[in-house]
Amino acid sequence: MRELANTQIIGARSSTLLISAVQEKDRTIYDAHNTNSIGALIRHEGGPKTSDSEADEAYDYAGAAYDFYKEVFGRNSIDNNGLKLDSTVHYREDERFPYENAQWADGRMWYGDGDPNQTNRFTIDLAIIGHELSHGVVQYEGGLKYQKDTGAMNEHFADVFGILVKQYHFKETAEQSNWLIGEGIWKENIVNGKAIRSMKEPGTAFGPDPLVGKDPQPDHMSKYHDFGTCVDPRRCDSGGVHINSGILNKAFYNIAIEIGGNAWEAPGHIWYTSLVNLPNNPDRTTFKDLANTTFAEAGKIYGIDSKQQKSVYRGWKDVGIEITRP
């Protein structure tokens, strides 16, 4: 796994947070049997376990993500309108090779089994599934074009809500969480293979390792990776979407720790309303726009110069992003 959710779907911006009258969890799991098809239905809402770890994790963790969005933000599924949660496990893009990834695409989830020499199954961590489904939430809230800084913000929102899904499900405070995305994904032979990303310490999740290299994420704007003109997205991570997002992740971690307690409460609500109220420029929104929006939303929700708003200001400043005060 080098990246998560390499998808570029842009949806229409939602103008309200109103909830649909119908709110029911509706999950279906399909088995692609190592093909690139949707596969055969093997579990539906309310159905029994399958004895397939990947299928049952996909089912259970999709339910955990649904519950998080409903109970914490009052959101009716991924699209806020009761979208079914469809997932395909044992998927391969190319049937000759294992699929070392998970992604949200075409309105559903796709999970690979991983590389037998490097990675485990991609349903192994609730934060991965929360991350991928959160790409859908970003899509339905207006989207952020999946390249360069807007793509890094897309990845950042998915990481934030992915870890919050996990913290909420296991009732971990900000201080108790390890802030790892993709915990357990690496095989034992990978050096320092803690996870795919660390929001607490970007750049420390894995390696240096001869097979997978070194976690490249920076934790400060002074270490920002500028890829210039990105000709081949596969070689430059679409302009650093999974790399420079580490700076934003570190800011959120700073803020959650300073505020303390449950990160899905004040920090989570600030970030959720900020996603809804970001400037409607899906290909031009900047890191500074995001920082300014979170600062403004913190003031609206908790009050000007509140502890929460001051924490937002300091959290961004600590990663080299200065908020423009009104």
Task: Provide DSSP, 281-316.
Answer: -TTT--HHHHHHHHHHHHHHHH-TT-HHHHHHHHHH
Helix axes 307-317, 287-302, angle to 10 degrees: 170
**220 catalytically annotated:** no
Residue ranges and CATH numbers for the domains of the chain are: 27-140 (3.10.170.10), 152-317 (1.10.390.10)
Catalytic residue (choose from 90, 131, 156, 242): 242
Catalytic residue (choose from 57, 132, 141, 183): 132
pTM: 0.92
Helix axes 287-302, 148-170, angle to 10 degrees: 40
Q: Give the pLDDT of the chain (326 residues) as one tens digit per residue.
A: 334 333 322 222 233 333 344 568 999 999 999 999 999 999 999 999 999 999 999 999 999 999 999 999 999 999 999 999 999 999 999 999 999 999 999 999 999 999 999 999 999 999 999 999 999 999 999 889 999 999 999 999 999 999 999 999 999 999 999 999 999 999 999 999 999 999 999 999 999 999 999 999 999 999 999 998 877 888 899 999 999 999 999 999 999 999 999 999 999 999 999 999 998 888 899 999 999 999 999 999 999 999 999 999 999 999 999 999 87
Residue 110 phi/psi, 5-degree rounding, is -130, 130
**132 catalytically annotated:** yes
| Angle (nearest 5°) at CA 183 between 47 and 272 | 75
DSSP letter, residue 78? T
d(CA 285, CA 39): 38
d(CA 265, CA 168): 10
